[in-house]
Amino acid sequence: MPCLRSDHKEITMRISTNMMFESGARRISELQSSLLKTQEKISANRRILTPADDPTAAARVLEVSQSQSMNTQYAENRTIATSSLKLEDSILDSITDLIQDVQTRIVEAGDGAYDADQRKYIANDLRGRLAELTGYANTRDNEGNYMFAGYKTANQPFSSTTSGTVYNGDQGSRSLQVGSARNVPISHSGDSVFMRITNNSLYESGEAVSNTGTAEISSLTIDDLTQLTRHEYNIAYERSTNQFTVSDLTLGTSQTVAYTGDPQTLTFDGLRMTVSGTVADGDVFLIRQALTDDMQSLSIPNTNGYFATNTLSTNGGAATISPYSVVNSTLLTGHEYNIVYDDTVPQFVVTDLTTSGTVNIPAAGDPQTLNFDGIAVTIGDTASMVNGDTFTIRHTAAQFVTDEATTNTGSGTISPYFVTDTSALTRREYDIVYESTGVGTGVFHVTDPSSLAAVIDIPYAGTDTLNLSFEGVQFTIGNATTLGDGDTFTVRQSPDAQPAYLVSGASVDNVGTGSVSPLSIANDELLTGHEYEVTYDATGTQFDITDLTTGATLTSIAYTGTPQTITFDGLQMTISGTLVDGDVFSVREALVAGEAPILVEDGSQSVFDMMDDLIATLESSNTLTDLPQQELANNLAVANANFSNVLDHILTIRASVGARLKEVESLDSSGENRDLQYTETISNLQDLDYVKAISELTLQKTTLDAAQQSYVKIMNLSLFQYL
């Protein structure tokens, strides 16, 4: 048909029959597709069938669906956590009843009317309760895993041996992620539940035998149970500063208290005591675990801690100094020294920094060994020395020692303690437990063994050597690729105090009638001045000797029968009488006998060992002569206090389990609410509006019908009809 353009020329556009056919068919096809799409949406009750329908909404639906899937997984984890925690609470409830029954039996055993046979019946009953307790400790969960094995869930955690019940698990605590930002522990390790329970000992106070004043210490009592450390102490008076220095022999730390006059009450670390009388400079008062059969003290020169030698960095020569060694313990002073080279003579000038006294030693030889005040050091490369070169001998602070647990399955090693930032130091001990999370990957869990509090978790990514740095210290783990799940490394403090006078005695907790003779010196060149424990091992028929100062275990001595004389580290003593497995004989710093000992919580012990000790106490009168009534009463008092601690310990753990259950229930409630929110959001994004969809369907159907009818009429049109 003609039309006009701006240039007034005509344009002709022709529409063929075929074009009209294709256009109509295409339109009908589009209308049918739209109608079919709407029908599919109504059938599926979905507004969005493919991302193309609404890309923005489809992406949002995918995001919310993924969040809902994670929330569903958290809900499943919470179900597992709830089941595990409820099972643990049930087991702990049974253990609570068992411990209460044991306490009842202890009270019965203390009845003065009971004879040895009746106490034996109680001991037999307690053996059954011990087996029952071991069964609870080896409980499996619904999946067959041992509940109290830490991460080693496939291994039975507790087994009975001739020397007692031993723990075969690790210190790990399994956990589950029950929320987007919350991991909840679902178990306690058997070590924390059964092996680390505060035990009690009898403590006594007294004056050191070397004191020159007339002052006495008395009225040792517990002032604040919550502040007790269960450590041993020295309290030394210093005239020049007019104060007491209270030294914690367990930690190697000290604090000062001003002297205010006679008498004076001292209070520290939950203890209270009174010092009365005239104190002289250097007088020492002691608080320690009680011993029986205290003997006359043996004088050991006090070296006052460990010493380190050093070459000053400012020296002009290249000479070095060796570590110091003791050549005559009777000459030791425990003082610090400076050694200065004087080339005008030439000689070494040794200055005692405590007394300011000097000793001149002629320079002769390379290297040259210098002997003075019972010690010897060797100066090497003396030919390179210049005038004024200085070498020092100084006390060292309390040291930390690192170690690998004997139960480790891998061959990983830990380096010595290394300080990287003194301002960040907490000076506490650590347990470092490796948890494997896959091949070549894992996590090091660092905890404080005294409080069981978590310090830090450090990921591991497969290197053979890595540095663990935290709280101002650093440790290097070697052979890390060999680590096994649950492998443990320990960091412990090593005390450095050495006593001046030693005394031997038997522990008040001993069951046997064995006694120990006064100490004597067998070889003064081997003396260390340390304190020791000698433990009788009936299984190995030997004496196991532990150096309490360094924590080292010395070579065991075979038991040949009493009386038997044993010798170690230059000391000698004789043990007589009838011995029972676990009896302990101590070499400790001497004190002048004070008042009656008091009961104080001391260290930790396993509940199984407590049960064994109690049974041994009750059976002792059947295997030996009857225990003296007072000693029996003391042992039962300690046992009763120990099992009170066990009960408190179990109830504390139950409280933590209850708190975790409450938290999981709270998270479950919020998780359900969150799931409803996710469902509502997804529904709003993709669910169909039926009213709108049906209206649209009706319109599309009408439009399609009209198009089809129009198409038929148009296609029937032809010019031939008008010829």
Among the ranges given (48-52, 319-323, 626-630), the one the predictor scored with the smallest mean pLDDT: 626-630
Is residue 63 situated within a structural domain? Answer: no
Do residues 483 and 281 lie in contact, with contact meaning Cβ atoms separated by under 8 Å?
no
Is residue 608 situated within a structural domain? Answer: no
For the segment 632-685, what is each residue's pLDDT rounded down to a tens digit?
766 777 788 778 888 888 998 888 888 888 888 888 887 788 778 877 787 777
Query: Do 244 and 204 belong together in one domain?
Result: yes
Dist. CA 442–CA 487, nearest whole Å: 11
Dist. CA 434–CA 162, nearest whole Å: 30
Does the pLDDT of residue 612 top 80, yes or no? yes
For the segment 67-84, what is each residue's pLDDT rounded down to a tens digit?
778 878 888 888 888 888
Dist. CA 663–CA 181, nearest whole Å: 13
Residue 398 has what pLDDT? 40
Among the ranges given (238-242, 486-490, 548-552, 602-606), the one the predictor scored with the smallest mean pLDDT: 602-606
Among the ranges given (24-28, 241-245, 275-279, 544-548), the one the predictor scored with the smallest mean pLDDT: 24-28
Query: Do 252 and 318 belong together in one domain?
Result: no
Instruction: Please state the rounded mean pLDDT for residues 459-483.
Output: 87
Does the pLDDT of residue 360 top 90, yes or no? yes
For the segment 283-330, what is each residue's pLDDT rounded down to a tens digit?
888 877 655 444 444 444 333 334 567 788 788 888 988 877 666 655
The CATH number of the domain holding residue 568 is 2.60.40
Query: Do 282 and 319 belong together in one domain?
Result: no
Do residues 505 and 294 lie in contact, with contact meaning Cβ atoms separated by under 8 Å?
yes
Instruction: Please state the rounded mean pLDDT for residues 701-706.
Output: 76
Higher pLDDT, 328 or 179: 179
Structure tokens that stand for 360 in this block: 């001149």
Residue 517 has what pLDDT? 77
Query: Do 361 and 388 belong together in one domain?
Result: yes
Instruction: Please state the rounded mean pLDDT for residues 590-601.
Output: 47
Give the SS3 label for residue 272. Answer: strand
* DSSP secondary structure of 607-644: HHHHHHHHHHHHHHHHHSSPPPHHHHHHHHHHHHHHHH
Does the pLDDT of residue 719 top 60, yes or no? no
Higher pLDDT, 278 or 518: 278
Is residue 666 situated within a structural domain? Answer: no
Is residue 490 situated within a structural domain? Answer: yes
150: left (phi over 0), alpha (psi -120 to 50) or beta: left
Q: Tell how far CA 142 is from the center of its chain.
A: 28
Residue 24 has what pLDDT? 66
Residue 12 has what pLDDT? 57
Is residue 61 situated within a structural domain? Answer: no
Helix (H) or strand (E) holding 73: helix 55-109
Does the pLDDT of residue 387 top 50, yes or no? yes
**With pLDDT > 70 as the criterion, what percentage of the chain qualifies?**
77
Domain end (from 461, 494, 527): 494
Structure tokens that stand for 17 in this block: 């029959």
Instruction: Please state the rounded mean pLDDT for residues 583-607.
Output: 61
Instruction: Please state the rounded mean pLDDT for residues 328-357.
Output: 83
Which range of residues forms the domain containing residue 334? 307-395
Instruction: Please state the rounded mean pLDDT for residues 603-626.
Output: 71
Does the pLDDT of residue 595 top 50, yes or no? no
Residue 599 has what pLDDT? 43
Dist. CA 391–CA 323, nearest whole Å: 11
Query: Do 521 and 560 belong together in one domain?
Result: yes
Query: Do 486 and 506 belong together in one domain?
Result: no
In the DSSP assignment, the letter for residue 514 is -
Residue 330 has what pLDDT? 59
Does the pLDDT of residue 5 top 70, yes or no? no
Query: Do 372 and 445 belong together in one domain?
Result: no
Higher pLDDT, 460 or 700: 460
Give the SS3 label for residue 281. Answer: coil
Q: Assign 3-state DSSP to the chain and report helix, strand, coil percentages, each to 5.
A: 35, 30, 35
Residue 694 has what pLDDT? 76
Residue 286 has what pLDDT? 80
Does the pLDDT of residue 718 top 80, yes or no? no
Dist. CA 109–CA 274, nearest whole Å: 36
Name beta bridge partners: 433. Answer: 445, 488
Among the ranges given (218-232, 588-602, 635-649), the one the predictor scored with the smallest mean pLDDT: 588-602
* DSSP secondary structure of 634-666: HHHHHHHHHHHHHHHHHHHHHHHHHHHHHHHHH
Residue 183 has what pLDDT? 80
Instruction: Please state the rounded mean pLDDT for residues 1-22.
Output: 57
Mean pLDDT of the chain: 78
Domain total in the chain:
4
Residue 139 has what pLDDT? 93
271-276 and 216-222 beta bridge pairing: antiparallel
Query: Do 359 and 380 belong together in one domain?
Result: yes
Is residue 265 situated within a structural domain? Answer: yes
Does the pLDDT of residue 622 top 70, yes or no? no
pTM given for the model: 0.42
Does the pLDDT of residue 184 top 80, yes or no? yes
Question: DSSP strand E in 427-558: where?
Answer: 430-438, 441-447, 454-460, 466-470, 473-478, 488-494, 501-507, 515-516, 520-521, 532-537, 542-547, 557-558
Query: Do 516 and 471 belong together in one domain?
Result: no
Q: Which of 101-110, 328-337, 497-506 is most confident? A: 101-110
Dist. CA 509–CA 603, nearest whole Å: 14
Among the ranges given (87-101, 134-148, 172-186, 434-448), the one the predictor scored with the smallest mean pLDDT: 172-186
Residue 66 has what pLDDT? 83
Is residue 365 situated within a structural domain? Answer: yes
Residue 362 has what pLDDT? 93
Structure tokens that stand for 489 in this block: 């490394």
Residue 136 has what pLDDT? 93
Is residue 440 situated within a structural domain? Answer: yes
Query: Do 220 and 277 belong together in one domain?
Result: yes
Dist. CA 195–CA 264, nearest whole Å: 40
With a CB cutoff of 8 Å and minimum separation 6, the contacts of 415 are 402, 475, 476, 477, 478
Domain end (from 494, 516, 546): 494
Instruction: Please state the rounded mean pLDDT for residues 447-472.
Output: 86
Query: Do 488 and 411 belong together in one domain?
Result: yes
Dist. CA 530–CA 517, nearest whole Å: 18
Domain end (from 395, 414, 444): 395
Among the ranges given (256-270, 476-490, 620-634), the one the predictor scored with the smallest mean pLDDT: 620-634
Structure tokens that stand for 446 in this block: 């660092």
Query: Do 322 and 357 belong together in one domain?
Result: yes
Residue 571 has what pLDDT? 83
Label residue 625 by pLDDT band (50, 70, 90).
very low
Residue 644 has what pLDDT? 83
532-537 and 592-593 beta bridge pairing: unpaired
Residue 532 has what pLDDT? 85
Do residues 580 and 562 lie in contact, with contact meaning Cβ atoms separated by under 8 Å?
no
With a CB cutoff of 8 Å and minimum separation 6, the contacts of 688 are 41, 42, 44, 45, 46, 47
Label residue 95 by pLDDT band (50, 70, 90).
very high
